A and B are shown apart, each in its own frame.
Chain A
Amino acid sequence: MATQGRGEAGAGGRRKGSTEAGSGSQLCCGLFDMSAHQQGTELDLSWISKIQVNKPAVLRRAEQIQARRPVKKEWQAAWLLKAVTCIDLTTLSGDDTASNVQRLCYKAKYPIREDLLKALNMHDKGITTAAVCVYPARVCDAVKALKAAGCDIPVASVATGFPAGQTHLKTRLEEIRLAVEDGATEIDVVINRTLVLTGQWKGSDFIKTSTGKETVNATFPVAIVMLRAIRDFFWKTGNKVGFKPAGGIRSAKDSLVWLSLIKEELGDEWMKPELFRIGASTLLADIERQIYHHVTGRYAAYHDLPMS
């Protein structure tokens, strides 16, 4: 089942950041039900060898896209809420415990203060983050906390020797199996970059800019190359691969640029959590602040908004 994602060619292979494959299709512990999985297609490496990427031109496009689609007022508020629904609310720290994972899960369920949503008439639209993302050992805690909060937000886990991916295939597979047993429904796989750098590609349902643990993470130029690859793959095979930028996305403004980037390069049908995720931890707080300002016309104090 060798699915072919062109996306890694320009970005993962090129950059120092790793390319993660969400929901390893080889293991069928994917994000969505089976029908949403990559059907697989003949591996055709000539696609990759034909790709031309002109770096200075891509850098120019990346710069332009940040200034060409400002979103203001109600549009901004609505777009920010859309961004919230695409967030993989993440905590990946060595000192994560059950208590802060529980707090995170609660925040995932109630990402924006209820009264603010009410003012926007969005309180009954089920605005939650797309998923909660934790280390394998914290999956249990997350599943428990979410169950207690009474919601079905999926738990995603980074597995497979995150963040370097330099462990044995056997332990990597075991790690995934255990995380799934604990209740994780989405797995962010760190692919073996040795294989990438030697041109041995594997497919995926989602491609991710990087682990978020690198010195350089989600950047627009890399994203542009990956998104164009996703579009080409869709044109060639009819399969829609998802996209997840992760790392360094902290401001509400950034999230708007990411959304408009998706809209411009791929179109509206990719602007939904099934095909677009933002891996972030502090972004949500800034979005909530912006929405507070939009609704009240005032800038919020630190204590005005609940922490995650």
Chain B
Amino acid sequence: MAATRTASRAGEIFTTLEYGPAPESHACALAWLDTQDRHLGHYVNGQWLKPEHRSSVPCQDPITGENLASCLQAQSEDVAAAVEAARASLENWSTQPGAFRAQHLTRLAKAIQKHQRLLWTLESLVTGRAVREVRDRDVPLAQQLLQYHAVQAHTQEEALAGWEPMGVIGLILSPTFPFLDMMWRICPALAVGCTVVVLAPPASPTPLLLAQLAGELGPFPGILNVISGPASLGPVLAAQPGVQKVAFCGAIEEGRALRRTLAGWGPELGLALGAESLLLLTEVADVDSAVEGIVDAAWSDRSRGGLRLLIQEAVWDETMRRLQERMGRLRCGRGLDGAVDMGARGDAARDLAQRYVREAQSQGAQVFQAGSVPSDSPFFPPTLVSDLPPASPCTQAEVPWPLVVASPFRTAKEALAVANGTPRGGSASVWSERLGQALELAYGLQVGTVWINAHGLRDPAVPTGGCKESGSSWHGGQDGLYEYLRPSGTPAWIPYLSKTLDYDSFGLALPSALPAGPETGPAPPYGLFVGGRFQAPGARSSRPIRDSQGSLLGYVAEGGAKDIRGAVEAAHQAAPGWMSQSPAARAALLWALAAALQRREPNLVSRLERHGVELKVAKVEVELSVKRLRAWGARVQAQGCALQVAELRGPVLRLREPLGVLAIVCPDEWPLLAFVSLLAPALAHGNTVVLVPSGASPIPALEVCQEMAALLPAGLVNVVTGDRDHLTRCLALHQDIQALWYFGSAQGSQFVEWASAGNLKPVWVNRGCPRAWDQEAEGAGPELGLRAAWTKALWLPMGD
């Protein structure tokens, strides 16, 4: 009977030539769930932790809705237990030689290799993603990540001398791609000697399986702990004593909220936000290959988010025709089917896509959907949206999976303006057969990763990060390692939270400055140094500066919100010119400034002396300041590098890009040296700067401004004096400042962290702790250079 049925179908298929199901057996995934009696807890310290009296959520097959297991939701006590386990194993793990850690990571890579089928079927089963993508890409990449980082651990003592592991790392994962996101972050953290607590989203068993594989390796069970629970537990995790860094990947708004919540808690926060990507298709591209790039980017279960597609007008029709034709051949279906392109991502993702499509349609957009998609199902078809008016609310919002939003552009210049006109800065690809044009676009795009004539390539050796609202953390390559390192000798972060700090009123109360009598000695330069010259402050008032004995040294200008606005504008105007300067030209300017400082030494020494600095110390301070300028001038020449990665013919360029306008609030101590030590790396890396000098002793910095007025292009450096809290408030809330370094009070640091959530600018705060600016490590260490620029990876595949 069976034979006849088979026979009759063969004849039918011979005529229709349709594809049939190609199911991947997931029996082993179910068998693994059975070992836990379909009841998953947390994996802490090498053991399953299944505390009682906890609520649980069902883990369901997103396509059939079948209940696969129930997963316990963590509570604060469980988070505390996991962090305790990570803390307990930290000392032992971090003091092992790098070569030893390398071996351990290699063993984990082998464990993954041995159980890869279990991993890929489990991941595909519970996430609904196409098994082909998990099997052929994610799992091999996970192994490569472990191997790459094992090598990094092996050479750590040499290559990363002067750095030490941060400590316990808290990792908060998004619900979409928990497995791979987790690997990208735990590998570098473990390699450099940190231990990790992962807060996995509810009902995601793969991270637990990975933790089990790692735990069963033996001697260091506590280095990787996984608890599952809602993202709202994130602040609880961050607040645990000992947690030194929190890495978060997920939605932009969640990241913003987390940034605000964690202000003042102590741990560093590394954000990797959003999932939208961009594809820029020029008229001199291989359009068919670019269409495949679009499929890779949006409809192959490779990316978490949707795609913004920019097409040059001349090839608009041709591209649309090919794209729509190609979309017709896409197949959606159960992720475990080896012949589908796209699986399902659950109800939330589908509803989000549906809402976006409805809204776009109501705003007049054209929506094209195609592909073979089961109708009775949780699937969402590949969708192409075009003719969306540029000013519609949809254009501003992030494009969700599995949508592609296409819009035309006329010239390369316009393409850059449109592409850079969003707050997101994740990844993009440029399709052009003209090398010069492709490079021009690639360099001009403000995104963390650019692929030329490819999309979505990844490699463990290539740093992946972003800018703007995509967050400023990196994974992969050297940059990924520094995320979990800090300069040796840095004290552990502890909470410095002030619960009484009122964010609404911080820095708003301005003291009224009254005349305080005549100045003693020579009057300091007066005014705000903005746009290359000294200008009167908008408020037209001044503040008296006194020495330690209380005698009046002079008056400096009282800057305010409008002065900050003006300074930032001036800095933006100077930015394109300064960025395009060659490193050699930047170095020359820094050296010229150093020479000018040297000439002015007697003057600066006497200014410092009048601030109460001992003569000997004052001389050292000026001398060191000169040295700093020279040192950064020399270092700027060694920027960026080319990487060679597997499976790619051609280089990947690691570019160090200027942040843009960098605001720096200088500390009170070392009024000249700290000012110069912060200014020099900022300038060397191509940033334009708005500085607030020492509050107690701003006069030496203003003396330097007199030299800068003659030497530097107008607007490159802007110095605003005044009430530090008030100026800090203005800077931190400014949306068009790309980064902020704050050295001041604990409260100020907390405010800066909180306020930076607005445009998610990277911030560096001192948490109220003084810094030894005269020491090489703290005053001129590589840390400053790392923070003064961001990394962009540029993929350049070659082939004729």
Contact = CB atoms under 8 A, between A and B. Distances in A.
Interface of A: 52-61, 64, 67-75, 77-79, 81-82, 119-122, 125, 228, 235, 259, 263-264, 267-268, 271
Interface stretch (B93-101, B285-293, B491-499, B783-791): B285-293
B558 interface: no
A75 B287 contact: no
B22 A57 contact: no
Interface in B399-443: 431, 433
A125 B293 CA distance: 41
B320 to A, nearest CB: 13
B116 to A, nearest CB: 15
A54 B17 contact: no
Nearest to B18: A75
B7 A121 contact: yes
B8 interface: yes
Nearest to A271: B17
User: 6 closest pairs, A vs B, by CB?
Assistant: A75-B20, A121-B7, A57-B289, A55-B799, A78-B13, A54-B286
B436 to A, nearest CB: 15
Contacts of B21: 72
Contact of A121 (B10, B289, B453, B454): B10
A79 B17 contact: yes
A80 to B, nearest CB: 10
Interface in B117-147: 132, 136
Contacts of B13: 74-75, 78-79
B284 interface: yes
B331 to A, nearest CB: 8
Nearest to A118: B7
A304 to B, nearest CB: 19
Given A56-B454, A74-B20, A121-B10, A67 B136 contact: yes
A119 B4 CA distance: 8
Contacts of B22: 70-72
Contacts of B339: 68-71
A82 B799 contact: no
B1 interface: no
B292 A60 contact: yes
Interface of B: 3-4, 6-14, 17-22, 132, 136, 284-290, 292-293, 321, 329, 338-339, 341, 431, 433, 453-454, 649-650, 797-800
Contacts of A81: 10, 14
Contacts of A121: 4, 7-8, 10-11
Contacts of B798: 56
24 contacts: A52-B287, A52-B433, A54-B431, A54-B453, A55-B800, A56-B650, A56-B797, A56-B798, A57-B289, A57-B453, A69-B19, A70-B22, A74-B9, A74-B10, A77-B10, A78-B14, A79-B17, A82-B14, A119-B3, A120-B10, A121-B7, A122-B11, A122-B14, A235-B321
Contacts of A120: 6-7, 10-11
B24 to A, nearest CB: 10
Contact of A68 (B9, B341, B431): B341
A52 B284 contact: yes
Nearest to A264: B329
A146 B47 CA distance: 73
A30 to B, nearest CB: 25
Given A53-B286, A54-B453, A67-B132, A122 B10 contact: yes
Given A52-B287, A121-B7, A57 B14 contact: no
B20 A71 contact: yes
A61 B289 contact: yes
Nearest to A59: B799
Contacts of A82: 14, 17
A55 B338 CA distance: 27
Given A59-B799, A71-B20, A71-B339, A54 B10 contact: no
Given A67-B132, A78-B14, A122-B14, A57 B454 contact: yes
A295 to B, nearest CB: 8
A121 B288 CA distance: 40
A67 B288 CA distance: 19
A245 B549 CA distance: 93
Nearest to B14: A78
Interface centre among B8, B19, B21, B321 (most CB of A within 10 A): B19
A119 B184 CA distance: 52
A78 B17 CA distance: 8
Given A56-B454, A57-B454, A74 B6 contact: yes
A271 B14 CA distance: 11
A52 B22 CA distance: 35
Contact of B14 (A69, A71, A125, A267): A125
A182 to B, nearest CB: 33
Nearest to B23: A72
A57 B286 contact: yes
A119 B14 contact: no
A66 B115 CA distance: 24
Interface centre among B21, B287, B292, B329 (most CB of A within 10 A): B292
Given A60-B292, A121-B4, A75 B19 contact: yes
A56 B288 CA distance: 13
B56 to A, nearest CB: 37
A53 B433 CA distance: 8
A125 B13 CA distance: 13
Nearest to B290: A57
B136 A54 contact: no
Contacts of B650: 56
Given A57-B290, A81-B14, 19 more contacts: A54-B433, A55-B800, A56-B453, A56-B650, A57-B454, A61-B289, A64-B292, A67-B136, A70-B22, A70-B339, A71-B339, A72-B21, A75-B20, A77-B6, A78-B9, A79-B13, A79-B17, A120-B7, A122-B11
Contacts of A74: 6, 9-10, 13, 20
A141 B338 CA distance: 46
Interface centre among A54, A61, A73, A268 (most CB of B within 10 A): A54
A61 B294 CA distance: 12
Interface centre among B288, B454, B800 (most CB of A within 10 A): B288
A120 to B, nearest CB: 4
A16 to B, nearest CB: 14
Contacts of A64: 292
Contacts of A53: 286, 289
Contacts of B341: 68
Contacts of A122: 7, 10-11, 14
B132 A68 contact: yes
A288 B341 CA distance: 30
Contacts of A119: 3, 7
A82 B6 CA distance: 16
Nearest to B433: A52
A119 B12 CA distance: 14
